[in-house]
Every structure is written in C-alpha cells, then in structure tokens.
C-alpha cells in the first residue's frame, strides 16, 4: 500500500527540465553579414595598392633638368653660374629643359625676369627677348677699374661719365654757352644714368682679380638715356657703380 501511494503521489508532478551537461555551449544567434562593407574594404585595398604602384613607377621615371639659382633678368642668358641640375619626375605636360640641353639654352634669352629657385621650362626663353616699352639696352666694353668686382646680371648700377674730356668740357663751357651746357651735363664725372639694370655680364673666371681684356656688359636703361650712354661707351668713358636696389 505504501508503494502504490508513493507512485500515485508522484504521478501528478511535472517532469523537471533536463539540465545541459557540463561543457556544452548555448546556441548563439547567426551573425548578420554585410557584403557591401566587405566589397568596400576590398576596393580600398586595391586603390591603395594601385596608388603605391604608380608612385613607385613615377619615382623611377625621373629626369635631370635645369634649375635657376640666381635671378635672370629679362633679356638675360643662362650661364654656368646661375643654374644647376635637379632631378624631377617626368611629366609630358610640362616642358622641362633637360640638363643635356644646357648648351642650346645658353643661346636663348629670358622672355621675362626669372627668379631663383625656379625649374626652367621652355616657355621662359626665346630667340629674341623683347624689351619693355620705354626701355633700351646698351652694350658696354669696360676696362678694369670701370666696373665693381663681382658684377652680376640683375645688379642695379649707376653709370658715370669719366675720362680725359672732363677738362676740355669745362673749358669749352666758358666760351660757348650752348655747347658748354651739353658738355657739362655729359662730362665732369656727371651721372649719365642714375639706375640701370645689368642685363648681361660676361662670367669672369674665378681667381682673376684683374682681367687683361675688356668686360662686355649690357645695361637696360630708360630710352631717353640710351644715346648719352652709348656715346660715352663708344669713347670708353663709362664707369659703373653699384647702387641700392640690389
């Protein structure tokens, strides 16, 4: 009787849920996949790799070109003293002047003033550079003592008339008023041009303190001063002095 009562009493109880065994994991929900983000990541990787490849290729295609180290005034020329060579990435859209073309470049003139630090391109030079309106260029051939040492293209100078005609010019001014006025303005160590730009000066060899030959110099001056300067230059009576503006 006790066995039957226990059995009957347990028949009405609900069965206890089974517990998972030790070591088993609970099931996790599946992860949500985002194919768009994955594709974007792959695309960025490919773009980065392509960019790196292009940089490597461009770095390998470098050329030696001309770089200006000293200012070249309009009408001036390239010399060994105002340029150097640098390496740049080749670009068909830029007309670089290659270092191998330096000899040909020296025969050309600067179309406009070229500042230092600029890489030379073909458009900067021409066979015959134009002179600005109201300006003229005058060539001089100066002896030692008629120009300051270290004279370079781009310098600003004053041109004075000096020479043996000084005394005669002053004496003639006493006998002939009209002639004396013009002579006094041109002689007596007077200023021919207060400010002139050195467009060209023949490079001097290092170590040469005194040259045995005349120094060719080209000045750019106001047009109304060109005749007086040319006349004094033909007489060999011009001396140059560096002035402010350099």
pLDDT tens digits along 13-30: 555 555 555 556 666 666
Residue 55 within any structural domain of the chain: no
Residue 66 within any structural domain of the chain: yes
Backbone angles phi, psi at 35, to 5 degrees: -65, -30
Model's pTM, two decimal places?
0.44
pLDDT tens per residue across span 75-97: 788 999 999 999 998 888 889 99
Total domains, the chain: 2
Q: What are the start-end ranges of the E strands in the chain?
A: 62-68, 83-89, 109-110, 125-126, 135-142, 156-161, 191-201, 215-222, 238-242
Q: Are residues 117 and 139 in the same domain?
A: no
Higher-confidence residue of 153 and 146: namely: 146
Q: Are residues 151 and 232 in the same domain?
A: yes
pLDDT of residue 202: 77
Q: Are residues 139 and 232 in the same domain?
A: yes
Q: Are residues 72 and 167 in the same domain?
A: no
pLDDT of residue 99: 94
Residue 149 within any structural domain of the chain: yes
Residues 81, 69: Cα–Cα separation, whole Å: 8
Q: Is pLDDT at 207 greater than 70 in this prediction? A: no
pLDDT tens per residue across span 128-150: 656 666 788 888 989 888 999 88
């Amino acid at each position: 009787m006790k066995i039957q009562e226990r059995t009957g009493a347990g028949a009405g109880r609900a069965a206890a849920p089974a517990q998972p065994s030790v070591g088993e994991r609970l099931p996790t929900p599946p992860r949500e996949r985002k194919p768009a983000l994955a594709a974007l990541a792959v695309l960025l990787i490919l773009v980065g790799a392509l960019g790196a490849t292009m940089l490597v290729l461009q770095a390998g295609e470098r050329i030696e070109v001309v770089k200006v180290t000293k200012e070249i005034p309009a009408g001036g020329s390239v010399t060994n003293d105002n340029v150097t060579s640098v390496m740049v990435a080749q670009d068909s859209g830029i007309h670089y002047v290659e270092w191998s073309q330096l000899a040909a470049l020296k025969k050309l003139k600067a179309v406009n003033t070229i500042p230092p630090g600029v890489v030379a391109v073909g458009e900067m030079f021409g066979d015959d550079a134009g002179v600005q309106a109201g300006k003229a260029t005058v060539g001089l051939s100066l002896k030692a003592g008629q120009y300051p040492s270290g004279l370079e293209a781009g310098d600003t100078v004053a041109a004075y008339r000096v020479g043996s005609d000084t005394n005669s010019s002053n004496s003639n001014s006493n006998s002939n008023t009209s002639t004396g006025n013009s002579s006094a303005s041109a002689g007596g160590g007077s200023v021919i041009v207060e400010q002139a730009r050195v467009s060209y000066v023949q490079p001097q060899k290092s170590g040469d303190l005194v040259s045995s030959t005349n120094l060719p110099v080209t000045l750019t001056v106001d047009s109304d001063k060109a005749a007086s300067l040319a006349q004094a230059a033909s007489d060999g009576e011009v001396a140059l002095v560096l002035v402010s503006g350099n």
